[in-house]
Chains A and B, each alone.
Chain A
Amino acid sequence: MTSAPAGTTRPEAVSQDTPVLRITDLRVGYRTAAGTRTAVDGLDLTAAPGRITAVVGESGSGKSTTAHAVIGLLPPGGRVEHGSVRLEGEELTGLSERAWRDVRGRRIGFVPQDPGVSLDPVKPVGRQVAEVLRVHHLATGRGAAQRAVDLLAAAGLPDPARRSRQYPHELSGGMRQRVLIAMATAARPRLLVADEPTSALDVTVQRQILDHLEALAADTGTAVLLITHDLGVVADRAQHVVVMSRARVVEAGPTREVLADPRHPYTRRLLADVPRLTPRARPATPPAPPAEATSLPRPSPGPAPGSRPAPLSGSAPPVPGPGPASAAGPSGDAPDPGVLLRVRGLTLSFPLRGPGPRRRHLAVDGVGFDIPRGRTLGLVGESGSGKSTTARLVLGLERPEAGTVELDGVDVTAVRGAARRRLHRRVQLVHQNPYASLNPRFTVEELLTEPLRNHRVGDRAQRAATVRRLLDDVALPADVLRRRAAELSGGQRQRVAIARALALGPDLLVCDEPVSALDVTVQARILELLLGLQERHGMAYLFISHDLAVVGQVSDRVAVLRAGHVVEEGATDQVLRTPRHPYTRELLAAVPGRRNPHTPHDPDTPDVPEEEPGETPGEAAARTPHRHDRPTEDTPWS
C-alpha cells in the first residue's frame, strides 16, 4: 500500500493474500457548470479476501464516489481522471461498457444504501434475484427460480419460497436488504461493495445484516468493501479502515490501531463525536445568562450548583422505579406542579388494509409518561414502535381513541379553536428531515418570521429583533437570513428548524429524530446546541430517536417503546447500565461499537471525558457518570 499524500498510513498488518482489489492514486471528478469538482483525490486502498475493509467519512467525503467508481457506475458527469482500480490484477478503469457488464454482478457484487428504493417495485423479489443468474448465463428458467430461492435462504430471508413470490413492498426493510444481498452474491463475486448497507435500518436489524456480511466474508473468502459513516460499525466489523475527509484519505490502517491511536485530527474528531452509551450530564455550574431581550419563558432562576436534580445516580441501588410497563404513567395520579406534560393511557389504532375481516393495528397502546419543566424525556424504539404517533398525539395532530395529554393540567386533546391555537404556541416540533421540513424556496428570514406572523406576535421591528436573537440562539451568522433553505447544509437547516420552533417561546419541544439525517460530527454539534438551549431557556424536550446512544446523551429519563407499549421507563443512567426489560438489553446489544475494546463507547469502562474545544473543565467533569452528591434512590425525575 502506497502512502496517501496527506494521510497517515500504517504498515499493512493483514495476511499475505494478494488483494482482491487494489486502488492506487485514484482521482474522480464531477463536471459541473462551475468547472470540475474533485470528489476523490489520490486514494489508495486494498481489499483482501475474507476481510472487511471499511471506508469511513462524512457525506461529501468521497466515500460513496469511491464505491461507485469501483463498480464503474459513477453518476452523470462523474469520471475517473487518474489512477488505477485493479480487480484481481486486472485494470478496470477504461473498460468498455460491454466489458463492465461481465464484471458487475459477476465479479463485483454491490449492496446499495437504501433497501426501500433499491428494488424494482413491480417485480417479485425472487425474479429479481433470478435475473442476476440469467444475465450472467449461470442458470435458466426453472433452475434460476429454484436457485433464487436457495440464494434468498442463504441470505437469511425467512420462508424464502413464499417470500420469493412477493413484491418488495410486502417485505420489511431488513428483508429487502437480504434480497439485495442475495442479488449481490448470486454470481459468487470475489468482491462485495456495500455502500452504507445498514444506514436506513433499525439498529437490531443492522446488527443482523452486518453479522451476515461478516459471516459471508469469513466463510466464502469474499473481500468486502464496506462504506459507512459509523465508526462504531467500523470498530465492530472491519479489519482495516480507510478514513476519508474532503476527497482525501487522511488515515488508513488496521482498525484496532487506528481507533486506539488516531493520528490525524480529523479521525480524533470523528471518534470524539460518536455518541457514547453514557448518560447525559448537566453542567454543575449555572449557565451564563444569555444576552436576551427574550420573550422565551425562563423557569425559576438557574439551578444552584448541585441543586439541579441530576439523573446521574450511577451508583444507585436498583430500586425499581415504576414498573416496566406502567401504562398508568410513572408516578401516581396526584398532580405534580413541576410536571409540564402529563400523558396517560394514550391509545390510537389504524385500520389494517388487506383481504379478510377488517382489523386494526394498535399503533400506540396505553402509553403514559410525565415530563417536568425544563427536562428531557427520551423516547426510544424501532420503526413501527409508535414513537412518531406518540409525538403526533402530543402535538395534537392526531386525536387519541383513549387517554389524555395534559399540558399544565389542560387536556390538549379536548381544547378547540383559539385555546388550541394558544396551546400550540407552547408545544413545537423539530422534524426529522431538515431537507423536507423547510420550504426550500423561503429565505431563512421568511422561515423564522412566519410563525411570528401567524400568531401576530409583535410588529415588524420586534419581529426582526426576535429573528436576530433566534439566529444567535442557534449560532448561525446573520448573513444566512437572505439565503434560501435550499442553499444551506443539513446541519444549518436543522439549526434553522430549531430556531423556527423556538420562535414562539414554547415550553415543550418535541424533537422527532432531529439528528438521524445528519453526519456524526454535525449530529454532535446539534445535540450540544439542544442541550445549551435547554440550559438557557429551560424548555422541556420530548426527544424521540431510534438510537439509544443519542437518546442517552440528551435525556434525563428514557422510555423504551415497543409495539405501542412502554416496556421500560427510568432514569437514563439506570436504563443504559442496568436495563430491566429484555428488549432494552437487545437494543443496547445492537448498538455498534461494543465489541472492540478501543471503540468509542464501552459502557463497562468508565468513560474519561476528553476535553473538546469550547468545553469548560467543569462541563467535562460533569460528564463523569459518578456523582455522589445526589439522593441515591431512583425516584422519577429525582
Chain B
Amino acid sequence: MTPARYLAGRVLRAVFVVWAAFTLAFAALRLLPGDPVALMLSGRGGFDTLSPRDIARAKAELGLDRPLPVQYGHALLDALHGDLGASLQTGQPVTRMIADALPSTLALGGTALALALTAGSALAVSAHLAVSPAVRQLLRSLPAFAVSLPSFAVGLLLIQLLSVRWHLFPSLGGTGVAGLVLPACTLAIPGAALVAQVLGKSLHTVLREPYADTVRATGAGRARLLLGHGLRNAAIPAVTVVGLLVGYLIGGAVVVETVFSRPGMGRITQAAVATQDLPVVQGVVVLASFVFAVVNLGVDLLYPVLDPRIRATGRLVTS
C-alpha cells in the first residue's frame, strides 16, 4: 500500500465520522419531545401570552416549518461554510460562542492529555525499572486503583485538600495557570491510569519477546533495553489508547468544568442541552466529533512511523 493511499483512506474515514456525527445529532435533536421554539419564546416572555400564530411566525423565521430533508440540506450546506446557526436562547452565532469558550477547554484538555501521557508513561516505565520487587508491585497495582476513581470524587477531594485546607490553589473559577492545576489533575488522573495500564501490560509482553533476549545477550543493560527497544515496540497499543483517551477527555471536561465552575465548552453544552438549544448542541457535537476524528487520524498516521511493518502492509501486525 502506498503512503498516499494509506493517507487518503484515513482522511476519508475522518470526514465520514464528522459527517455521521452531524447527521445523527440533527436527527436525534429533531426527534426529541418538546418544542424548542416554545421554550425559546417562553425564555423571553410569558408563555401564556403567546398565540399559536406567534409561534408559527417564529418557526417560519427560523426555517423550522420546512420539511426535515430541506432543513437538513440547508443546515449541512451552512455547516460546510462554517455557519452553524445561531443560539435559540441568546441569538448569538454558535461559532462565536464556541470560539469564546474553546480556548479555556482546550487549555484544560490539552494540559490533562499531556499530564496523563507523561505520568502514565513514567509510571509504566518505572514499574519495570524499579529494583525492589515490593516497589514494582506497588507501581503495578496503582493504575488499577486510579482508573476506578470517578473524576467528580477526585475533584472534590483535591478541592478539599489543596484549596480548602492548604490554600495552595483556588478552588473555583480562576483562569490563570494556578486555576488550571486542579481541574487538569482531576481530569488527567483516570487517563494517566489508563495509559499506565496499557503501556505497562504491553511493555511486559514486549520484554519477554525473544528479541529482548537478543538485546540482553549483546551486553546491553536494562535501561537501554527498556528505553531503546521496549518502549517503541510497546507504544503501538498505547497509541491506540490515546485516541480513546481524547474521547474520554471531551466527556470528562463537562463534569470537571461543572465541579470547578470553569467557563468553557462543558458549561455551554450543559446549558444548551437543558434548554434544547438545537443549533448550539449540534455545533458542540460536530466540534467534538471533529476533534476526535482529527486525533484518531493523527494516531493512524503515527502507526506507520512507529512500526515499519505497517508501512509495508497498511495493517497492524501482531507477532
Bound complex: CA A109 to CA B209 (Å) = 19
> Counting CB contacts under 8 A, is A105 at the interface?
yes
> Counting CB contacts under 8 A, is A120 at the interface?
yes
Chain B hits for A187, CB < 8 A: 219
Q: Tell which of B210, B213, B233, B312 touches A353, judged by Cβ atoms closer than 8 Å.
A: B312
> Counting CB contacts under 8 A, is B2 at the interface?
yes
Instruction: Produce 1/0 per residue, B218-252, CB < 8 A to A.
Output: 11111010001100110000000000000000000
Tell me whether A73 and B229 are in contact (CB under 8 A): no
> Counting CB contacts under 8 A, is A112 at the interface?
yes
Chain B hits for A104, CB < 8 A: 216-219
> Counting CB contacts under 8 A, is A71 at the interface?
yes
Chain A hits for B2, CB < 8 A: 355
Chain B hits for A101, CB < 8 A: 219-221
Tell me whether B307 and A353 are in contact (CB under 8 A): no
> Counting CB contacts under 8 A, is B12 at the interface?
no
Tell me whether A117 and B209 are in contact (CB under 8 A): yes
> Counting CB contacts under 8 A, is B47 at the interface?
no
Given contacts A112-B210, A117-B211, A131-B228, are A105 and B218 in contact (CB under 8 A)? Answer: yes
Chain A hits for B220, CB < 8 A: 101, 105, 131, 135
> Counting CB contacts under 8 A, is A106 at the interface?
yes
Bound complex: CA A113 to CA B217 (Å) = 13
Tell me whether A118 and B210 are in contact (CB under 8 A): yes
Q: How far is the CB of B74 from chain A (nearest CB, A)?
A: 44
Tell me whether B219 and A180 are in contact (CB under 8 A): no
Chain B contacts with A in 275-319, Cβ cutoff 8 A: 306-309, 312-313, 317, 319
> Counting CB contacts under 8 A, is A354 at the interface?
yes
> Counting CB contacts under 8 A, is B39 at the interface?
no
Q: How large is the interface on A (under 10, 10 to 19, 20 to 34, 35 or more residues)?
A: 35 or more
Chain A hits for B306, CB < 8 A: 122
Q: Tell which of B210, B215, B217, B229 touches A114, judged by Cβ atoms closer than 8 Å.
A: B210
Tell me whether B217 and A73 are in contact (CB under 8 A): yes
With both beta carbons as reference points, the residue of chain B lying nearest to A127 in the complex is identified as: B228
With both beta carbons as reference points, the residue of chain B lying nearest to A169 in the complex is identified as: B309
Tell me whether A169 and B217 are in contact (CB under 8 A): no
Q: How far is the CB of B314 from chain A (nearest CB, A)?
A: 8
> Counting CB contacts under 8 A, is A121 at the interface?
yes
Tell me whether A110 and B312 are in contact (CB under 8 A): no
Tell me whether A120 and B229 are in contact (CB under 8 A): yes
* Number of A-B contacts defined by CB within 8 Å: 89
Bound complex: CA A399 to CA B220 (Å) = 49
Tell me whether B312 and A102 are in contact (CB under 8 A): no
> Counting CB contacts under 8 A, is A167 at the interface?
yes
Q: How far is the CB of B293 from chain A (nearest CB, A)?
A: 27
Given contacts A104-B219, A106-B219, are A135 and B210 in contact (CB under 8 A)? Answer: no
Chain A hits for B218, CB < 8 A: 104-105, 110, 131-132, 135, 183-184, 186
With both beta carbons as reference points, the residue of chain A lying nearest to B236 in the complex is identified as: A122
Q: Tell which of A103, A354, A355 touches B219, judged by Cβ atoms closer than 8 Å.
A: A103
Chain A hits for B138, CB < 8 A: none
Given contacts A118-B214, A120-B211, A353-B313, are A132 and B307 in contact (CB under 8 A)? Answer: no
With both beta carbons as reference points, the residue of chain A lying nearest to B230 in the complex is identified as: A120
> Counting CB contacts under 8 A, is A136 at the interface?
yes
Tell me whether A354 and B214 are in contact (CB under 8 A): no
Given contacts A169-B309, A169-B312, are A119 and B217 in contact (CB under 8 A)? Answer: no
Chain A hits for B209, CB < 8 A: 117
Given contacts A105-B218, A106-B219, A135-B224, are A122 and B232 in contact (CB under 8 A)? Answer: yes
> Counting CB contacts under 8 A, is A123 at the interface?
yes
Bound complex: CA A135 to CA B210 (Å) = 19
> Counting CB contacts under 8 A, is B1 at the interface?
yes
Chain A interface secondary structure, helix, strand, loop or mixed? loop
Chain B hits for A180, CB < 8 A: 214
Tell me whether B219 and A121 are in contact (CB under 8 A): no
Tell me whether A110 and B214 are in contact (CB under 8 A): yes
Tell me whether B1 and A353 are in contact (CB under 8 A): yes
Tell me whether B233 and A121 are in contact (CB under 8 A): yes
Bound complex: CA A573 to CA B219 (Å) = 50
Instruction: Produce 1/0 per residue, A119-162, CB < 8 A to B.
Output: 11111000000011001100000000000000000000000000
Given contacts A121-B308, A135-B219, A135-B220, are A112 and B214 in contact (CB under 8 A)? Answer: yes
Chain B hits for A113, CB < 8 A: 210
Chain B hits for A114, CB < 8 A: 210
Tell me whether B214 and A73 are in contact (CB under 8 A): no
Chain A hits for B219, CB < 8 A: 100-106, 132, 135-136, 187
Q: How far is the CB of B1 from chain A (nearest CB, A)?
A: 7
Chain A hits for B213, CB < 8 A: 73, 112, 118
Q: How far is the CB of B214 from chain A (nearest CB, A)?
A: 5
With both beta carbons as reference points, the residue of chain B lying nearest to A167 in the complex is identified as: B308
With both beta carbons as reference points, the residue of chain A lying nearest to B3 in the complex is identified as: A355
Chain A hits for B210, CB < 8 A: 112-114, 117-118
Bound complex: CA A556 to CA B220 (Å) = 53
Given contacts A101-B219, A112-B217, A131-B220, are A169 and B211 in contact (CB under 8 A)? Answer: no
With both beta carbons as reference points, the residue of chain A lying nearest to B219 in the complex is identified as: A105
Bound complex: CA A118 to CA B211 (Å) = 4
Chain B hits for A122, CB < 8 A: 232-233, 306-308
Chain A hits for B216, CB < 8 A: 73, 104
With both beta carbons as reference points, the residue of chain B lying nearest to A103 in the complex is identified as: B219
Chain B hits for A353, CB < 8 A: 1, 312-313
Chain A hits for B221, CB < 8 A: 97, 101
Chain B hits for A135, CB < 8 A: 218-220, 224
Chain A hits for B217, CB < 8 A: 71, 73, 104-105, 109-110, 112, 184
Chain B contacts with A in 200-214, Cβ cutoff 8 A: 209-211, 213-214
Bound complex: CA A187 to CA B313 (Å) = 35
Bound complex: CA A100 to CA B216 (Å) = 10
Bound complex: CA A579 to CA B213 (Å) = 42
Chain A hits for B313, CB < 8 A: 353
With both beta carbons as reference points, the residue of chain B lying nearest to A166 in the complex is identified as: B308
Chain A hits for B214, CB < 8 A: 110, 112, 118-120, 180, 183
Bound complex: CA A169 to CA B319 (Å) = 11
Chain A hits for B309, CB < 8 A: 121, 167, 169
Bound complex: CA A354 to CA B314 (Å) = 10
Q: How far is the CB of A225 from chain B (nearest CB, A)?
A: 13
Bound complex: CA A212 to CA B308 (Å) = 29
Chain B hits for A109, CB < 8 A: 217
Bound complex: CA A104 to CA B215 (Å) = 10
Tell me whether B308 and A120 are in contact (CB under 8 A): no
Q: Name, among B218, B224, B309, the residue most crowded by chain A CB atoms within 10 Å (CB to CB).
A: B218
Instruction: Produce 1/0 per residue, A277-305, CB < 8 A to B.
Output: 00000000000000000000000000000
Tell me whether A169 and B233 are in contact (CB under 8 A): no
With both beta carbons as reference points, the residue of chain B lying nearest to A354 in the complex is identified as: B312
Q: How far is the CB of A38 from chain B (nearest CB, A)?
A: 22
Bound complex: CA A170 to CA B2 (Å) = 16
Q: Name, among B210, B219, B233, the residue most crowded by chain A CB atoms within 10 Å (CB to CB).
A: B219
Q: How far is the CB of A112 from chain B (nearest CB, A)?
A: 6
Chain B hits for A183, CB < 8 A: 214, 218
Bound complex: CA A131 to CA B224 (Å) = 10
With both beta carbons as reference points, the residue of chain A lying nearest to B206 in the complex is identified as: A120
Q: Name, among B216, B306, B317, the residue most crowded by chain A CB atoms within 10 Å (CB to CB).
A: B216
28 residue pairs A–B, Cβ–Cβ below 8 Å? A73-B213, A73-B216, A73-B217, A101-B220, A105-B218, A105-B219, A110-B214, A110-B218, A112-B213, A114-B210, A117-B210, A118-B213, A119-B214, A120-B214, A121-B233, A121-B308, A121-B309, A123-B232, A131-B218, A135-B220, A135-B224, A136-B219, A169-B309, A169-B312, A184-B217, A187-B219, A353-B313, A354-B312
Enumerate chain B interface residues (CB-CB to A < 8 A): 1-2, 209-211, 213-222, 224, 228-229, 232-233, 306-309, 312-313, 317, 319
Known: A71-B217, A131-B218, A353-B312. 15 other contacts (CB 8 A): A97-B222, A104-B218, A105-B220, A110-B217, A110-B218, A112-B213, A117-B319, A118-B214, A119-B211, A120-B214, A120-B233, A121-B233, A122-B233, A135-B218, A353-B313
The 4 A-B pairs of least Cβ separation, nearest first, read A105-B219, A110-B217, A105-B218, A104-B219
